Amino acid sequence: MNASARLKELMNAHFAGVDRAARERTAPVAWCTSVGPVELLRALGYEVFFPENHGAMLGASRVANEVMGRAHALGYSPEICSYLTSDIGSYLLKKTPLQRHGLSGAPRADVLVYSTNQCREVRDWFEFYAREWNVPVVGVTSFRDIGEVETHHVDAIVRQLEALVPTLESVAGRRLDAARLEEAVGLSRTCSELWGSCLRAGASRPAPMTFFDGTIHMGPAVVLRGTREACDYYRLLDAELRERVRAGVGALPRERFRIYWDGMPVWGRLRDLAALFARLETSVVASTYCNSWIFDALDPADPLPSMARASLELFIARAEGPKERYLEARIEEFSVDGVIFHDSRTCPNNSNARFGMPQRLRKATGTPVLVIDGDLNDLRCYSDEQARTNIEGFVEQLEGAPPRATA
Ligand code: SF4
């Protein structure tokens, strides 16, 4: 993708910016969870670092497996989030792929801001650093397993967001300006719409981008949400994808089958899995993971309530019923031939294969499903041989299935 060069520049500038702020004290630095209330931080002038992005880098570079043991030795179980254990191990051993971006390590925070809309682990993760650096940790304790998002849910989160403001103002040394918050929410909304448009290009046949490309191109939607730079990037990427669709250029030379991926990426095996699917002429055209940075509810005219609603509507925060309806809709939208559930050992929050969902989905839609065991970062939980055999067998099974209608 031509946009990749710009992506690299943008991510480098992001890391350099937050590192400079931490070293030279040019701006306050906050750590924020990946679907946390970043718009408040942008409005208050923080440079923002997202440790889950660092966790993914540790996984993709496979440094994770060299450093996690250090966190396990400290009492963090090998069964809990391997982003958490990779990141803390990386900090303690001073070993990080951020060094390739010119940073000596993750930038030190002045404040740590979480939302447990995705999991409780993020709070425990941030509390480690709060103790380490003696800095405030604040956040939103959110609802989980939500059926319908109701007004009382939204009101409760708004009150918690309001309660964050005094601490965030005190650390930043400035008052929250309503116009700046509206602007940040507006930019997040635009970023979300543009990223959503890029991902919807995958509904075309052939798909111009796969899940594996998406996990790289989603960087700005995670770490630069609420900035103009992220919006400009997705305008560029969206235009390139539209042009590929117009010209009939697919991500693979030939696309025989189309797959939906549910669950976390296996970061240390992205390249291998992309090559395997390419060899099988099977395009992974959409995923729950990449879609998780689309926030339809954000509304600059109603900043805090819309931020609250967006955080509650997240797939990961929902009960099985809404999740199933969501997946059924994506199967239709992307004309997929099969669904792969990645049961990620250390992230039950992002694994949807443990309460019968694949079986119910297959029954409701007639779509073949496959569950593969693995992990986001801990490669001891992933067998190359078993994953390859299962995926090859699954694609063989698709060969015998009746073809789906073209999107
Ligand atoms: S959602 Fe999963 S991968 Fe992400 S921080 Fe929580 S436990 Fe870790």
Q: What is the pLDDT of residues 212-248, one digit of tens each?
A: 999 999 999 999 999 999 999 999 999 999 999 999 9
User: What's this model's pTM, rounded to 2 decimal places?
Assistant: 0.96
Mean pLDDT calculated for residue range 139-144: 97
Residue 267: per-residue pLDDT: 98
Q: Of 13, 38, 41, 40, nearest to 27 (Cα)?
A: 41
CA 149, CA 301: separation in Å to the nearest integer?
A: 20
- State the distance from the centre of ligand 1 to the C-alpha of 254, rounded, in angstroms: 34
- Name the average pLDDT for the chain: 97
Q: Which one of 32, 84, 124, 316 would you pick to mutate in the ligand 1 pocket, going by the greatest count of ligand atoms within 8 A of its CB?
A: 84
Query: Would you call 298 helix, strand, or coil by DSSP?
Result: coil
Check whether 405 has a pLDDT greater than 60: no
Give yes or no for a contact between 168 and 138, defined as CB atoms under 8 angstroms apart: yes
What H or E segment, with its residue span, contains residue 357?
helix 357-365
Check whether 402 has a pLDDT greater than 70: no
Q: Over the stretch 64-110, which tens digit does the pLDDT of each residue have?
A: 999 999 999 999 999 999 999 999 999 999 999 999 888 989 999 99
- State the distance from the centre of ligand 1 to the C-alpha of 272, rounded, in angstroms: 23
Q: Of 263, 371, 256, 250, nearest to 327 (Cα)?
A: 263
CA 66, CA 69: separation in Å to the nearest integer?
A: 7
The counts of H helices and E strands in the chain are 17, 8
- State the distance from the centre of ligand 1 to the C-alpha of 173, rounded, in angstroms: 31
For ligand 1, atom 8, name the residue with the nearest CA: 81
Residue 370: per-residue pLDDT: 98
Check whether 406 has a pLDDT greater than 90: no
pLDDT band at 407, cuts 50/70/90?
Answer: very low
Specify the amino acid at residue 5.
A
CA 182, CA 159: separation in Å to the nearest integer?
A: 18
Q: Which one of 32, 87, 119 would you pick to mutate in the ligand 1 pocket, going by the greatest count of ligand atoms within 8 A of its CB?
A: 119
Check whether 38 has a pLDDT greater than 90: yes
Residue 401: per-residue pLDDT: 75
Q: Report the topology of domain 4-176.
A: Rossmann fold (3.40.50)
Give 343's strand partners.
Answer: 373
The structural domains of the chain, with segments of one domain joined by +, span 4-176
